[in-house]
Amino acid sequence: MGRLFDGPWPIVIIIIVALLLFAAPKLPAMARSLGQSMRIIKSEVKEMKNDGKPAAKDDTDPVEGKVVNHPEANSKSGNDTDVPPATRS
């Protein structure tokens, strides 16, 4: 007759049965935590792979922004405020 701990399978089965008996209520939370950890690791590995690469270039050049005063924004009464003309008193 063979011994109980000759191979790894009897030990694996005993561990699985013990987990099911004693940790059954915590298994969904443990699985959720494991899934979140795997997603984080996957995203970090992807980030590390893309770390040395330059960002993808678009065919368009960046546009330089300039502040232009709107002709109607200048008040004709001499009040230099940011309040729209309809709400001024």
pTM over 0.75: no
H helices within 1-89, ranges in order? 8-22, 27-50
pLDDT tens-digit profile, the chain (89 residues): 567 778 888 899 999 999 889 888 888 998 999 999 999 999 999 999 888 777 655 556 666 777 677 666 555 555 556 667 666 66
- Residue 3 phi/psi, 5-degree rounding, is -80, 155
Residues 64-79 pLDDT 10s? 777 677 666 555 555 5
Tokens matching residue 68: 């232009």
